[in-house]
Structure 1
Amino acid sequence: MTDRIVLTGLRARGRHGVYDFERAQGQDFVVDVTLELDLGPAARSDDVADTVHYGELAGRLVAILTGEPVNLIETLAERLAAACLADHRVGAATVTVHKPQAPIPHDFTDVAVTVTRRRAVR
């Protein structure tokens, strides 16, 4: 059985991008995360210690979004996924990074990348 925790629309201002003006001005990034894990222990105990605390996870993800700049949102998504997998209970993480203010010279609503990373089976 695979259960999920989903965090959608986490927004923070970062300075990621290839261009100097993106680094200087910054822009909003929006992140959606789906964690796959067994929620049975938490459901049985009714104790937040038996699950991924999504408030604390959001704080770790915002620290990455607002932290050290990277050129590509692909790199940013990879770092966010690694942070999700740092909790040993998470078997897989799907992370979408939206860059709605990307420097594209045409009308558009959003540009995003999605990565799915799974814990290595031992």
Structure 2
Amino acid sequence: MDKIMLNGMKFYGFHGLLPEENKLGQRFQVDTELFLDLTKPGQSDQMDDSIHYGQAYDLVKEIVEGEAKQLLESVADTIAARLLEEFSLLAACTVRVTKPDPPIAGHYDSVAVEIYREREHE
């Protein structure tokens, strides 16, 4: 299946288990893969035949910069559900949410979750 990728989207949010995370906030990075058939937009060159990258970005931004959640899993799941709800052409999506600076002692680059969700067939 074809895909549209939005890579390295960076936001400031207030997600986390610790009260300091909810009060002070921190950086988050989100990567998405939007799975759909790109044959028609590839041939028609019309935006109505595809997913508008800017609208997908705005949706992700609204969620990450919006209501605080405890878990990255919940942030990722909310993004995936809203993408599938908002874009009827979308067959499935992968969402990766990365927290570069979690309050965990140790040496590492980041922590992240990645989920894959498909549209439920009716």
Shorter chain as denominator, the TM-score bin is over 0.9
Q: Which segments of 5 or more consecutive residues in structure 2 lack a partner in the other structure?
A: none
Q: Which segments of 5 or more consecutive residues in structure 1 lack a partner in the other structure?
A: none
Matches of 1:53 and 1:63 in 2, distance apart?
16
**What's 1:98 paired with?**
98
**What's 2:23 paired with?**
24
Percent of aligned positions with the same letter in both sequences? 37
**What's 1:111 paired with?**
111
Aligned-residue offset at 1:7: 0.7
Aligned-residue offset at 1:51: 0.4
Partner SS, residue 18 of structure 1 = coil
RMSD: 0.8
Aligned AA for 1:98?
Answer: T
Moved over 4 A (4+): none
TM-score (norm 1): 0.96
Partner SS, residue 22 of structure 1 = helix
Matches of 1:83 and 1:44 in 2, distance apart?
28
How many residues align structurally?
Answer: 121
Partner SS, residue 43 of structure 1 = helix
After superposition, the C-alpha distances for 1:5-39 in whole angstroms (9 at most, x for unaligned) are 01110000000001000011100000000011011
TM-score (norm 2): 0.96
